Amino acid sequence: MVWINAAVQGVLLGGLYALFACGLSLIFGVMRVVNLAHGDFAVLAAYLALAVIAAVHVPVLWAVLVAAPLFALVGYAVQRLIIQRSLDISPLTTLLVTFGLSIVIQNALLEVASANSQSLPAGLLTSGALRVSGQLSLGYLSLLIFGTAIVVIVALQMFLARTSMGRQVRAAADDQETASTLGVNVRHVFGIAAALAFATVALAGVAFGMYSSFDPSAGPQRLIFAFEAVVIGGMGSLWGTLAGGVILGVAQVLGSQVDAGFGVLAGHLVFLAVLALRPNGLIPSRSV
């Protein structure tokens, strides 16, 4: 029963990782860029939510309504001003530039908010749980996050499949030149994709902030988990990202069941095994 409980908790944790990773997956699927500051932007969103709560005393879920649109704007700007520019130089430059950005954000947060660890107050959500049986209970917060991940993934899929802008995003992702000869403003479309990705980053950052504590240096760890989820599932496939998140979550929780310090390491080992054996991930997809 202990193991079943651990596996179920792992699946729920996977929802958090998937929520975290779908922005990374979207940006990679569309622009072939991995934003190494992804995790730091999520931590930044958590601090932003903290500041909003301190300023206007609203429940944490309302802070999301401020953070997500604001991050969409930030995402559009980062894409147009930084990522696109470095992408024009070389793909390796995007890695170096976003890595630099990551270090700058971490240290700026350290300067503004100190190294103390923080957490977002989630009230009843954190303490309450749905009791399935004596030993198996599902926390409301974990369920909410898992549900949010599924809603976000469905919404992104619907956007890409059904809307005109979504079709333009897919066209630009498949073939920039052809798309632009057909009248697609590729740079603007990439900006929109980044804006959506950053809005999910804000959601994920707030969710993670409610789920566990964070400090200015928490970003890289989150980026690694998100990237692991994306790679395990298969780059560019959003449902694959959910599967990857779940596999990573289960590996980590089962690993820490074996030994308290083994959880994160177990996740890394699963990731490296997938890279060695199935480098395209479990559910490979060429495009979004």
Q: Which is nearer to another protein, 9 or 86 (CB)?
A: 86
Minimum CB distance to another protein, residue 1 (Å): 27
Q: Does 47 contact another protein by CB under 8 A?
A: no
* Nearest to another protein of 59, 279 (CB atom): 279
Q: Is the dihedral of CA 34, 40, 45, 46 positive or negative?
A: positive
Candidates 60-68, 162-170, 176-184, 260-268: pick the segment binding another protein (CB under 8 A).
Answer: 260-268
Stretch that binds another protein, among 30-38, 125-133, 176-184, 205-213 (CB under 8 A): 30-38
Alpha helices in the chain (DSSP H): 2-31, 38-56, 60-78, 84-89, 91-113, 124-127, 140-162, 164-174, 176-181, 186-211, 219-233, 238-258, 263-277
CA atoms within 13 Å, Cβ hemisphere of 52:
21
Q: Who's near 163: CB < 8 A, 6+ residues apart?
A: none
107 touches another protein by CB under 8 A: yes
- The amino acid present at 30, given as its one-letter code, is V
Check binding of 110 to another protein (CB under 8 A): yes
The span from the CA of 33 to the CA of 31, in Å, is 5
Q: How many residues does the chain have?
A: 288
Plot region of 123 (φ>0 → left; ψ -120 to 50 → alpha; else → beta): left
Q: For residues 70 and 64, what is the distance between their CA atoms, to the nearest angstrom?
A: 10
278 binds another protein (CB under 8 A): no
- Token pair 């052809």 is found at 178
Cβ-contact 274, 267 below 8 angstroms: no
40 binds another protein (CB under 8 A): no
The answer to the question of residue 178 lying near another protein (CB under 8 A) is no
Q: Closest by alpha carbon to 18, among 200, 254, 273, 192?
A: 200
Minimum separation from the CB atom of position 99 to another protein (A): 6
Contact between 254 and another protein by CB under 8 A: the answer reads: no
Asked if residue 95 binds another protein (CB under 8 A), the reply is yes
165 near another protein, rule: CB under 8 A: no
| Residue entry with tokens 């964070």 | 214
If you ran DSSP here, which 8-state letter would residue 236 be given? T
Q: Which of 91, 121, 123, 128 binds another protein (CB under 8 A)?
A: 91
Using CB under 8 A, which of 7, 8, 70, 82 touches another protein?
Answer: 82
Binding to another protein by CB under 8 A, coded x per residue (else -) over 203-242, reads -----------------x--xx--xx--x-----------
The phi, psi pair for 135, rounded to 5°, reads -105, -10
Residue number, 188 or 268, with CB nearest to another protein: 268
Q: Closest separation between CB of residue 142 and another protein, Å?
A: 24
66 interacts with another protein by CB under 8 A: no
Contact call for residue 36 and another protein (CB under 8 A)? yes
Task: Report the interface residues with another protein, using CB under 8 A.
Answer: 28, 33-34, 36, 82, 85-86, 89-93, 95-97, 99-101, 103-104, 106-108, 110-111, 220, 223-224, 227-228, 231, 261-262, 264-265, 268-269, 271-272, 275-276, 279
